[in-house]
């Protein structure tokens, strides 16, 4: 099942130069995925009330061109054919004025919110999404984000109530906001990332203090987000 999601950006979705923010790109893709779940009869909110949740483990987004203010935006999404019992993939194509300008993929598990452990993804659940035999990237397994031991800058961040989603964790897109706070000014202001990778290791919960740490490694900008006890929570990689 292919699902198309039409989105009309608002002013806050854009940078000062009129290009769409990378944060807004992810928001649009996420909303297209939610539209797919609703169409499949698998309401995200209903699933959360049953103490089960689709949990995102990875993003990979390749950006060939950023939409500009006033462009017509359509996101297309689908679930890939399932090859493993504990995780599934969702792919995206992002159209600007009818032309593909962004492609992406995500990896997901179903988490038991009571035990905190992944669950086997049942065949009848997968069937609801009508998987497609199509992938936007050739690699089956996503490349790991470069390992970093030494960082050049770090910043402590206090989570806010508004950061917490209905699963009582920091919402997955908010980690990108945290990472933006620690990027060098000239990198942040350039708005020219061609590739974004995010790997989620462990959720940040309400009231938890975190530290975002930055390094430049392997020709990319790397941000690690640590919890209050020094536990690695999320890794992000930005390539310009």
Joined together, the tokens standing for residue 138 give 């050739």
Identify the segments of the chain with pLDDT beneath 50. Answer: none
What is the rounded distance in angstroms from the CA atom of residue 111 to the CA atom of residue 107?
13
pTM: 0.92
Joined together, the tokens standing for residue 114 give 């009571």
- The pLDDT assigned to 10 comes to 92
Closest CA to 202 of 234, 178, 230, 159: 234
- The pLDDT assigned to 25 comes to 97
- The pLDDT assigned to 124 comes to 84
């Amino acid at each position: 099942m292919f699902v198309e999601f039409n989105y009309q950006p608002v002013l806050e979705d854009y940078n000062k130069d009129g290009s769409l923010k990378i944060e807004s790109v992810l928001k649009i893709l996420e909303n297209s995925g939610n539209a797919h779940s609703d169409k499949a009869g698998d309401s995200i909110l209903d699933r959360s009330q049953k103490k089960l949740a689709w949990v995102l483990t990875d993003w990979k987004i390749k950006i060939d061109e950023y939409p500009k203010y006033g462009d017509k935006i359509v996101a297309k999404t689908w679930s890939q054919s399932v090859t493993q019992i504990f995780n599934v993939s969702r792919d995206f194509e992002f159209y600007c004025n009818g032309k593909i300008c962004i492609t992406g993929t995500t990896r997901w598990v179903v988490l038991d919110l009571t035990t905190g452990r992944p669950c086997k993804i049942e065949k009848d659940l997968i069937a609801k999404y009508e998987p497609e035999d199509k992938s936007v990237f050739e690699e089956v397994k996503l490349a790991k984000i470069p390992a970093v031991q030494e960082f050049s800058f770090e910043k402590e961040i206090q989570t806010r109530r508004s950061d917490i989603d209905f699963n009582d964790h920091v919402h997955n897109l908010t980690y990108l906001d945290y990472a933006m706070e620690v990027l060098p000014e000239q990198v942040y202001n350039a708005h020219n990332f061609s590739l974004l990778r995010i790997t989620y290791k462990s959720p940040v919960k309400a009231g938890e203090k975190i530290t975002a740490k930055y390094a430049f490694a392997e020709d990319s900008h790397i941000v690690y987000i640590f919890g209050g006890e020094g536990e690695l929570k999320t890794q992000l990689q930005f390539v310009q």
